[in-house]
Structures are given as C-alpha cells and as structure tokens.
Structure 1
C-alpha cells in the first residue's frame, strides 16, 4: 500500500494575510487558501507539549500529508473544524511526507 492511498480525507491549508492595521494596530486580515482539498489523514494525538511564544500548548491531533509549503503560522480546516499548527515535521527525513501536530480551535 502506498502512502497516498492511506490518506483518507481532504483538508484545506490556510495562511494568514495580515492586510491593514485597525485603529488599535491589530491586523484586520483574512485567512487565504494555501492548498485546497489536500489529501491527508488525521488522528488523535497523545497530547505532546509545545511552547508557543511564552505559553505551553498541548496537541490534540496529528495530521499526515504529502510534502507541502506549510508552517506553524498556518492553520488546517477539515470540513468546518479549525486547527492551529503547533509543529511541522519531515517525518521520514527524506521529504516523503509531513506530520503536523495540531491544536483544535473550533469544532
């Protein structure tokens, strides 16, 4: 069985576009599509800890997908469920596929 046949759902990868600043100097941007309908597989994770800025966060899910241009500043949307990306790992070490540790944001 090849890796791609193991990917059983699709997800959307989104990147924040800061746009302009509002009167409080906060970005008023939007989430733009980075990759639509990317084949992937998601599973519950074991709750690994990640330091994001100055706080500790726990991963809720692990996402597997083919190599993409994706970073910890992007997010994943599956159906209407939104996840923050806490970590991006080149799992096999040979640019074979990525494993993303995710944090559930909106269900």
Structure 2
C-alpha cells in the first residue's frame, strides 16, 4: 500500500497567513484585535470615527489574505495549501463585496 504524504512547503504558508489575517482583524472576547494594537502603536487609527464606525483593520488584513490566496494557488500540492487557498478566497470575496458596498452606498 502506497501512502501519499503532502510535504510542507511554501504552500503551507498560505494557511499560516490566513490565520495571521484572522488574528489581525478579529477581536476575541473583550479584547481588541492584535491589528488594532499594532495600528495604534504605529500611530494609525483602526476605526473611522474614534472607537466606532468603519473598522479599517479588516481592510489592512488583506495584506495577509491576498498572499495566502496566491501561495495556495501556486503551490497547491503542499500541506495546508488547499485549505489556506479556500479560506482566503472566501475571505477575499467577502471583503471585496464589503468594499464595493461601502463605495456604492
């Protein structure tokens, strides 16, 4: 019986980048997201109106989601590449739809 094991390679980074994007953009419990803390440290405001309004951190997280999608497509035979590609594709579609919605409205 031949076992087919996937190797860890550059495509595996796709899933890791997606997880970083989630940690960067989503708040857990009563705590701010890591992205909010990083943006405040850099002197940028993560919200459009003080602590309310449009959450810019979600759009900054595209820095993680777009490379995750590209690496997942390019190195699809690596471990975790398919999952990273699929999750980042869904996230990119949702964020693109949100961006278009805010531009039109």
Which TM-score applies when normalising by structure 1? 0.26
Structure with more contact order per residue of length (Cα contacts < 8 Å, sep ≥ 6): 2
Larger radius of gyration: 2
Q: TM-score, normalised by structure 2?
A: 0.26
Give the structure with the larger strand fraction: 1
